[in-house]
Structure 1
């Protein structure tokens, strides 16, 4: 049973995430207890009870998504002994979860890194006036031209016809106003606290580089495809460099998925509170199968399906 593991990025968080899993599986409760002890009991309280405004804070949702994804994996590995992981990947924050799943660092090290990353990004949001804009139905060269004209950055290449720009409020407003002239069907402002994956995150990038430099990082046991270069990274220094560059760099999700498919992977298992990544993969290549696991019900049906294959 060969599969690629995928992990959610920021924006996937939901109030109640992980609560039913913790109640159903002692291994999940144990992992959440470990996380609470390490960074504070606010973690599961915010995950389970919210409010959404608190859970959406960058310093809160990043460790919440990391713990949630790895908790699902813990149960999946125990319940599907035939599962052979061929590679891992994650969207933005999810790349850290993917590295933990592949053995690049242990659970506690990764948790500390994502808590720091989220805190640094939150500080950068407070110090700058940034915004993000999703562009639907446009061609990449035209969108890159638009970004250059408006002095903003290409943040995410999520799927064909779905690209996100990030930068100053003024630049993003200008890009939204000019989008139709570039043949873009829709320009949708995103409800985010700041300009992620843009030059406005430079202060967070610099601080994260120091944290990554101090962290114990090993070569992963399976290939981990990085967002920044859309290829597997294995040397510890290369992992540090790409995780650092990703903070201000583009998330090249389309190319990352295409690389994984080109390696012969046909089954992907998404772990996170929603099924966003499965939806994006459906737009990138309809020929592959994606199983999305977000709660007890979807986990149990996934276990049944995987054990039957």
Structure 2
């Protein structure tokens, strides 16, 4: 295990990012020496391309970006453990794809298969949407006013391809679907509630029924490649994106992750659940600042004792 159960102190929530943003080359450059001696199994395409030259074009493919985000997060955990003291935590939480990292770090999906599973997940999704210019996602920021979220839900329901993919905090959600419908929705919500829409750097409609066949194929892959002991207790409970509550067994955590393929990420609910008592957050992986900002935004009770990011070797000084 790359993570140990925390036995004392303020409970620590260890978080992992999704793929909403590309991994910056500067981060990859800093991690390359540790990649060269890593024991984590990765697909050949990642070995050949991720740390060679400018990876940005390579990472525009979800089949490449998804395993790269998971691998980078696990590489940082491996680096921490190599110092002789694995990171300790009480709970794991991942944003969308980050929940797959939680499953690997928790031993639900074997580490030797985990990055390969992330590659297949992205590949299946891309094969559902062969037209790279048809789909995408838009993040909406709006005022925390009564009725605004209901207006967004109502507007989204009027379109055939659109779905709310993420509820990130009480003033932000993400909608996925066809680009032309997203463009129209953006204009409507700007007029309705003065919402600001920002197009994300993705070419797929995540957490949308459009990906139903990818969900079926990934479920079949898991069932044939992984021998899951569904009743086994998790080393660290996982905050589910599907329910916003804790999963305690391998089977529950995996089933929730698979079901969330085509359902919205209830990240704000999970954050609020964690922030109801004193906790600290350690945000692992590329673009960890996104989860850091969301946790800070949702901490209305002042229960967030600390909220740090670990992306580079220099960041480790915050732990020891």
Q: TM-score range by the shorter chain?
A: 0.7 to 0.9
Counterpart-to-counterpart distance in 1, 2:128 and 2:178 = 12
In structure 1, C-alpha distance between the alignment counterparts of 2:206 and 2:260, rounded to whole Å: 10
The 1:142–1:76 alpha-carbon spacing in structure 2 relative to 1, beyond 3 Å, is: same
Q: Is the CA contact (8 Å cut-off) linking 2:89 and 2:236 kept in structure 1?
A: yes
Cα RMSD of the aligned pairs, angstroms, is 2.3
* Corresponding residue of 1:89: 93
Change (3 A) 1:228 1:123: same
Q: Give SS of 2:91's match.
A: strand
Q: Is the 1:4–1:265 contact (alpha carbons within 8 Å) kept by the matching residues of 2?
A: no
CA contact (8 A) 2:91 2:237 kept: yes
Q: 1:237 to 1:249 in 2, by over 3 A?
A: same
SS at match of 2:275: helix
- Give the aligned partner of residue 212 of structure 1: 222
Q: Which residue of 1 aligns with 2:41?
A: 35
After TM superposition, give the deviation of residue 193 of structure 1 in Å.
0.8
Q: Residue in 2 aligned with 1:202?
A: 212
The equivalent of 2:270 in structure 1 is: 256
2:310 is aligned to 293
How has the CA–CA distance of structure 1 residues 98 and 82 changed in structure 2, closer, same or farther, with 3 Å as cutoff? closer
Instruction: Work out whether residues 136 and 162 of structure 1, in 8 Å CA contact, stay in contact via their aligned partners in 2.
Output: yes
Q: For 1:30-62, what per-residue CA distance to the aligned partner results, in whole angstroms no more than 9, with x for missing partners?
A: 33x5434xx105346324533312112101111
Q: Hey, what does 1:269 align to over in structure 2? A: 282
Match of 1:62 among 63, 66, 82: 66
Q: Which residue of 1 aligns with 2:113?
A: 109
Q: SS of 2:257's equivalent?
A: helix
Structure 1 residues 44 and 9: CA distance shift in structure 2, 3 A: farther
Matched, 1:14 2:24: yes
Summarize the alignment of residues 239-250 of structure 1 with structure 2, pairs less than 5 Å apart. Answer: 239-250=253-264
Structure 2 unaligned blocks of 5 or more:
1-8
Q: Could you say what secondary structure the match of 1:207 adopts? A: helix
In the comparison of the two structures, how many residue pairs are matched?
296
> Shift of the alpha carbon at 1:242?
1.6
1:160 positional shift: 2.0
8 A contact 2:238–2:253 mirrored in 1: no
Q: Decide whether the 8 Å contact of 1:43 with 1:60 is kept in 2.
A: no
Match of 1:223 in 2: 237
Worse-matched range after superposition: 216-225 or 288-297: 216-225
Identify unmatched segments of 5+ residues in structure 1. Answer: none
User: What TM-score, normalized by structure 1, do the two folds share?
Assistant: 0.87
